[in-house]
Chain A
């Protein structure tokens, strides 16, 4: 009940396109769902996060869609840019425990 499954493992998108990464969780007690962005040689940095009382959150080109009944959430990157090339991690948790997905390596082709 503690797993967070993330897909795809890798993704190549043309510049200007939409990048979509999906995650599924099992534990219905989870109440915090962040997405982190990691560049090579750096630590992860928070990109955007959502709580289960809303179905969508948008910050600039980044949007989280959340489906509580399906226990799924996804990250959409609109107008993807080469600078968005990074590894993206979803996570889910509550209190002090955050369970992370395995990561998606995103490459934006110019």
Chain B
């Protein structure tokens, strides 16, 4: 029972490079989320997808784009990486729309931009 799977687990990018973080869930959840976690700041919502076919901005969307490829998959793209995007990125999913229900998290992607 995999739950929420993120790839890659670690990545080092040079400033200006692009990359896509992949996320897939096998729990048939409707909603999916991307967060970033920085030391001393808790988690901040980047983008979310309430249901297949919809995406919306969260608290810190600048510099990111997302794609809800299908019900299972939700990807996060950095078009031109900046050192300020060095962080740990978490994907999460929840069974019904809305964050006021349990969210299940992946193990995270540690991204370093040099």
- A residues sitting closer than 8 Å to B (CB atoms) are 2, 4, 6, 9, 31-32, 34, 41-46, 49, 51, 89, 91, 93-103
In the complex, residue of chain A having the shortest beta-carbon distance to the beta carbon of B44: A100
**In the complex the two chains form, what is the Cα distance from A89 to B40 in whole Å?**
11
Cβ distance B3 to chain A, nearest Cβ, rounded Å:
9
In the complex, residue of chain A having the shortest beta-carbon distance to the beta carbon of B41: A102
Q: Among B98, B102, B103, which residue has its beta carbon within 8 angstroms of that of A95?
A: B98
Contacts of A99 in B (CB 8 A): 59
Instruction: Judge whether B99 and A46 touch: CB under 8 Å.
Output: no
A sample of 24 cross-chain residue pairs with beta-carbon separation below 8 angstroms, ordered by A number, consists of A2-B59, A31-B100, A32-B100, A41-B108, A42-B108, A43-B4, A43-B105, A43-B107, A45-B104, A46-B103, A49-B102, A89-B43, A91-B42, A94-B100, A95-B99, A96-B31, A96-B45, A96-B56, A97-B45, A97-B58, A97-B99, A98-B103, A99-B59, A101-B42
Q: Mark B31-71, 1 if CB is under 8 A from A, else 0.
A: 10000000011111100101000001011000000000000
Is B90 part of the contact surface with A, judged by Cβ < 8 Å? yes
Instruction: Judge whether B42 and A43 touch: CB under 8 Å.
Output: no
Instruction: Judge whether B107 and A32 touch: CB under 8 Å.
Output: no
Contacts of B97 in A (CB 8 A): 96
Interface size of B as a range:
20 to 34
Cβ distance B42 to chain A, nearest Cβ, rounded Å:
3
Instruction: Judge whether B41 and A96 touch: CB under 8 Å.
Output: no
Q: Among B41, B43, B107, which residue has its beta carbon within 8 angstroms of that of A42?
A: B107
Q: Mark B67-104, 1 if CB is under 8 A from A, else 0.
A: 00000000000000000000000101000011110111
Instruction: Judge whether A96 and B107 touch: CB under 8 Å.
Output: no
Q: Among B56, B99, B102, B106, which residue has its beta carbon within 8 angstroms of that of A93?
A: B99
Instruction: Judge whether A46 and B102 touch: CB under 8 Å.
Output: yes
Instruction: Judge whether A102 and B42 touch: CB under 8 Å.
Output: yes
From B41, B43, B58, name the one whose CB has the most chain A CB atoms within 10 angstroms.
B43
Cβ distance B36 to chain A, nearest Cβ, rounded Å:
11
**In the complex the two chains form, what is the Cα distance from A49 to B100 in whole Å?**
9
Contacts of B50 in A (CB 8 A): 96
